[in-house]
Structure 1
Amino acid sequence: MYYCPLCGMDHDGYLPLWKELSDALEAYGFDAISLKPEFYNRENLTCPVCGGMDRERMCAEYLRRTFGKNFYDRSFRFLEFAPNPAFSRFIRKNFTLRHETADLLRSDVTYQCDLTNMPVLKTESVNAWISLHMLEHIPDDRAALRELYRILTPGGFGLLLVPLSLALEKTDEDPSASEFERWRRFGQNDHIRMYAKKDFIERILEAGFQLEQLGKEWFGEKCFARLGLPDTAVLYVLKKPGLETS
């Protein structure tokens, strides 16, 4: 039996990668076997009840364990970039805090802003943020990481995931790549890079963050199975040095 922490429902199985995307990856020759993505889930991707994806389930489970039950702090500012409906509902239902959203193109968010330059957000004003599969779209990802560090309060944390290959020794990036090449090398037509783990970690540390990498050992084998996560999945928790927030 599977369990989705986003909607709190038990069910018989998750839904696989949707056919249109699967067909496109095959048509453009995206070679997942050779690239060995760290967090790649063709079989157990979305929840059949709420539609939440595997990466949101992992983050939701982390927050349940970190915040505990009945978290109540209306001054705690949690910022969700590129908000996902299932994850937003999970936050509002389970925690009493200041939940805000941000995106460059969408108008249905608290802040419409560029991740590399967010003057609308004051320095050290956000207690926690979540950014899932965003940096691979941004030409200057280092500038984005510096901004994510700047807005975070001392002791605050961010949850970060990107497409990452365990086979690459150096990040493959090319903002000028054609649509065909982006599909073939990066797995999507609006991605401009596929991260190598070493480079990814170096960029995080370069921005000033302390880093925790949480995988199956931290979550537990049973939890990974119930959430439908691939064995190699890792959640990157970025912390700003200082007193821990609560």
Structure 2
Amino acid sequence: MYKTVKKTALALVPKGFLIKNELFFRALFALRYKGKNHKCPICDHSLKKFIPLDDGDILCPFCGSRARTRRLFSLLKEHDLLHGSVLHFSPSRSLYRILSKDNSINYVSTDFEDEFIAQYHYDITKIDRPDNHFDVIICYHILEHIEEDQKAMQELFRVLKPGGSCLIQTPFKEGNDIYEDASITTEENRLKAFGQEDHVRIYSIAGLTERLKKSGFTQGDAKTFEDDVHAGFQAETILFLKK
């Protein structure tokens, strides 16, 4: 149902108008999902159920948040990370709407490919900000797209303030090695090898952690979380790093 409605809306209504009025259209569609079984921690709506997606994720019908975004927002609040200057790469619209209006932080959003709503278009391998600038960096599902990932990690470390926090997440594989092959360049072959047309590798938790250590991140670790049906969280691993 959701997939059909979304496809029809995109075909009939200009994309810019849909984005501008997204919450209004979602509210109309989401009425059938109101209930008391679940609660979205981002938009605070009580739900009968989340919307299952083809990729196995679950979507909030009211704000459009995915499971990892809901957990991220909860962790940011739980660990008191919403303070000072916050750099957020390719933010989801559900989180961007909240953080960009939060006057208690200096929120800086960026998306290099202009696929997400963001204020800037920083190249993560050469971030146009001075050293020791940000208190918090959110880098979710970015590094697996970057060919020069070690250079990107060094930049994240450079612009993070001493004592600052960096949250990183990517898809992960089992084992200790990172699977990458620079000769794989076509979208078709990258989809087969790495699981998505614009991915250039698959990290293991150990492999990514080791690469981050080489870039300067010697503090922090990987934390694995379980499902939380009520809040619509799914099992996942997140790297919490300090400078």
User: Is the pair's TM-score, using the shorter chain for normalization, greater than 0.5?
Assistant: yes
User: Normalising by the residue count of structure 1, what TM-score does the alignment of the two structures yield?
Assistant: 0.75
Corresponding position of 2:64 = 51
2: CA distance between counterparts of 1:230 and 1:203? 26
Is the radius of gyration larger for structure 1 or structure 2? 2
What is the CA distance between 1:92 and its match in structure 2? 4.1
Aligned amino acid, residue 228 of structure 2: F
1:139-178, Cα deviation, whole Å (9 max, x unpaired): 0111101100000001111111101112x43111123313
Q: Following superposition of structure 1 onto structure 2, how do residues 74-89 of structure 1 map, counting pairs within 5 Å?
A: 76-89=84-97
Residue equivalent to 2:232: 228
One-letter amino acid of the structure 2 residue matched with residue 137 of structure 1: H
- Partner residue, 1:3: 39
| Cα distance in structure 2, aligned partners of 1:202 and 1:54 | 27
Deviation of 1:95 (Å): 6.3
Asked if 1:162 corresponds to 2:170, the answer is: yes
Specify the alignment match of 2:182 in structure 1: 175
Tell me what 1:64 maps to. Answer: 77
- Three-state SS of the structure 1 residue aligned to 2:165 is strand
Aligned CA distance change for structure 1 residues 2 and 175 (closer, same or farther; 3 Å): farther
Q: Given the two structures, how large is their TM-score scaled by the length of structure 2?
A: 0.76
The CA RMSD over aligned residues, in Å, is: 2.2
Q: Distance in 2 between matches of 1:228 and 1:95?
A: 27
Q: In 2, Cα distance between the equivalents of 1:59 and 1:117?
A: 25
Q: Establish whether residue 15 from structure 1 lines up as the match of residue 51 from structure 2.
A: yes
| Alpha carbons of structure 1 residues 224 and 204: separation in structure 2 relative to 1, 3 Å | farther
Partner of 1:121: 129
How many angstroms does 1:131 deviate by? 1.1
Indicate the residue corresponding to 2:206 in structure 1. Answer: 198
Q: For residues 3 and 138 of structure 1, what CA distance do their matches in structure 2 show? A: 35
Matched residue SS, 2:230: helix
Amino acid at match of 2:61: P
Q: Of 189, 194, 208, which aligns to 1:186? A: 194
Q: Which runs of 5+ in 1 are unaligned?
A: 23-41, 241-246
Once the 2 structures are TM-superposed, how far is the Cα of residue 184 of structure 1 from its aligned partner? 1.7
Matched position secondary structure for 2:62: coil
Conserved? CA contact 2:205–2:222, under 8 Å = no
Higher relative contact order, structure no. (Cα contacts within 8 Å, ≥ 6 residues apart): 1
Aligned partners of 1:7 and 1:90 also within 8 Å: no
Assess if the C-alpha contact under 8 Å between 1:124 and 1:151 holds in 2.
Answer: yes
Distance in 1 (alpha carbons) for counterparts of 2:238 and 2:76: 12
What is the alpha-carbon distance in structure 1 between the residues aligned to residue 134 and residue 195 of structure 2? 32
Percent identity of the aligned residues?
Answer: 29
The residue type paired with residue 239 of structure 1 is K
